[in-house]
Structure 1
C-alpha cells in the first residue's frame, strides 16, 4: 500500500494499455477465425475465449469507471494515490510476475467456445481505446476517492486507482495466455 504519484501511476498504466491495444491490433486483429477459435493444446481457452473473458470484465468495469469519473467531486483532486490492501492483493494475484498461481474463472466469466472471433477482437480493441480515455480523464480526478464496485460483489468497492491496476494486470495475464496459445499453434503447425 505504497503512496505513489498519481500521474506517474497513470502514465505507467496508460503505456501498458497502449501496448495491449497495439498488440491486439498487430497480433490478433488480422488472424484467421479458425486460429483464434482453436482451443489451446493443453485443452485451455482459445485466443478468442481469452479475449472474450477480458471483454466480460470490461463490460462490467468500464461503465462503472465512467460512472465514477462522471460523478467525481472535482474539487478534491489529489496528486497522490495510496492503494488499499484489498486492491493491492487483487492486483498482485493477477499480475503475471507476482500472481503465478492459476485461478478458476467465475462461472459468469467463462466464455463460450463458439464465438464470433473477429467481433471479439474488435470489442477488445474498442475497450482498450475506451480504457485509455478513462485513464486520461482520471488525471483530473482523485483516484483515491472514487469507489468502484467489484464484479464479484457489488457491496465491496475499491478505489479507482486499484481498479485500474487490477483490470490492466488481468488484461496482461490473459493476453500472455492468448499469445502462448498462438505460439503453441504455430509450433504445432510446423511439426
Structure 2
C-alpha cells in the first residue's frame, strides 16, 4: 500500500519507505541546481520542501517517544486495522495531494538552512528510517486510543495512529509540491 489510507503498521512502514525512495529518485533526477531553485518568487524549492518535512518530523519525534512508551497494550488482534479519529481523517484528507485547502506554514516550521540538497536529502532519509523505527516500537500498543496534541497546532488533538497518517499525507503533499516545482522549472528551459 503505497498510497491511500494505511490500516496497519505494516501499511504505514511501506508508505514511509516509499516516500523516502520517491524523494531520493526525485533529487537524483533533478540534480543540485534545480533542487535549490524555487519555481517562482514565494514558492519553495525541492530542498525547501524536504527541509520543511525534516522540521515537522523533528517536532513529532519527542512527542511520539514519550507517548508511545506510555501507551497500553492493544486489545485488538495484532494485525487488526487501526481506527482513525475525526481530526486524523479530516487533516489527512485536506493534505493529500493536491491539497484541498492552502494554508500558511507557521514560522517555526518554515524551511531554513537548506545548505545543500545532499545534506537535506540525507537528513530526510534518516528521519524516514527513524519514523519506521518508531512505528516498529508501536507494535502491540493501543496507539489509536491514546491522544496527543499536534506539535504544529496544540488546539488539535488526535491519536498517535492518526498523527502518523497525517504525517504520511503531509509528506506526500510536499513531495507532490516538489514535483510540481521541478516540472515548472524544466518547462522553462
Map Cα deviations across residues 14-46 of structure 1 (whole Å, 9 max, x no partner).
222111111122221585332221012464101
What is the CA–CA distance in structure 1 between the aligned matches of 2:31 and 2:46, rounded to whole Å? 11
Q: Which residue in 1 is equivalent to 2:130?
A: 130
**Post-superposition offset of 1:101:** 2.4
Structure 2: gaps spanning 5 or more residues: 1-5
**Cα distance in 1 for residues equivalent to 2:19 and 2:166:** 14
Structure 2 residue aligned with 1:18: 17
Tell whether the 8 Å contact from 2:146 to 2:159 is kept in structure 1 after alignment. Answer: yes
2:35–2:46 CA contact under 8 A, matched in 1: yes
Residue 45 of structure 1 corresponds to which residue in structure 2?
44
Give 1:114 deviation, angstroms: 5.2
CA positional deviation for 1:156: 4.3
CA RMSD of aligned residues (A): 2.4
* Aligned counterparts of 2:37 and 2:30: Cα–Cα separation in 1: 12
Tell me the residue number matched to 2:55: 56
Return the offset for 1:115: 3.3
Distance change >3 Å, CA 32–CA 71, structure 1 → 2: same
TM-score, structure 1 length as denominator?
0.82
Query: 2:105 matched to which residue of 1?
Result: 105
Match of 1:3 in 2: none
Residue 178 of structure 1 and its aligned partner are, at CA, apart by 0.7
SS of equivalent to 2:34: helix
- TM-score relative to the length of structure 2: 0.83
Aligned to 2:83: 82
Q: CA deviation at 1:85?
A: 1.3
Mapped to 2, the partners of 1:117 and 1:149 lie a distance apart of 31
For 1:114-125, what aligned pairs fall within 5 Å after superposition? 115-125=115-125
**1:67 counterpart = 2:66:** yes
Name the CA distance, whole Å, in 1 between partners of 2:132 and 2:26.
Answer: 19
Deviates more, 1:172-181 or 1:27-36: 27-36
Unaligned runs of 5+ in 1: 1-6
- In the TM superposition, 1:167-186 aligns within 5 A as 167-186=167-186
**2:8 corresponding residue in structure 1:** 9
